Amino acid sequence: MACLGILVERSKQDIVYNSRERRRWRNHIMGTPNLAYGVLPGCLVHNDPLSPCCIFLPRRSPSETFEYLQNQPMENWSVTFLCLRHGTVCVRGSDDVHVEICPTDQDQPSPTFWEIECACGQESCGKLHTIYSGGMPDCAKIVKQIVKLNPIVPCGSHNLVWQREKIFPRQIL
């Protein structure tokens, strides 16, 4: 009977060790998820309805925890967001911001967030636009991706005409 007790105790220890080990290995492979404010532009990663694209907003402090995020009031605002993966443009407001799971990267602890200033390239227009985006690592790649995707952004009676030399991304930390 004592042997059975030892086996049961040993099995419990193995289960605890194995579950810790699996969690450690999963976090090593996938990255430890953390929580951050984000907006959903309405497009899907790999056309999977369970994986919507998300543009993560910059953290207001390094100590933002889930409890901190849940209890923070947000000002009312409405801005234009651009998914750099799909070219989806959307207007979202403070009511559209939710706490989302944000994958972490050891080289980049929080996702990049960009304010993109641009002027319409249509002759005799030049209207200035401010668009927000995230996820790309540097300015040159953002400009290249925008020109490639040619996202549709309303600009008066026409759509914004994108010109490489009139796109100015700035990283928001």
pLDDT in tens, 158-172: 999 999 999 999 998
Token pair belonging to 73: 């009031």
Question: Counting Cβ atoms within 10 Å, is residue 19 exposed (0-12), middle (13-18) or buried (19+)?
Answer: exposed
State the Rg of the chain over Cα: 22
Calculate mean pLDDT across residues 72-76. 63
Higher model confidence: residue 106 or residue 149? Answer: 149
Confidence tier at 6 by pLDDT (50, 70, 90) = very low
pLDDT above 80 for 13: no
Q: What gap in Å lies between CA 98 and CA 86, rounded to an integer?
A: 21
Calculate mean pLDDT across residues 86-100. 90
Calculate mean pLDDT across residues 143-154. 96
Q: What gap in Å lies between CA 149 and CA 160, rounded to an integer?
A: 13
pLDDT above 90 for 125: yes
Give me the phi and psi of 83, to 5 degrees please. -85, 115
Confidence tier at 98 by pLDDT (50, 70, 90) = confident
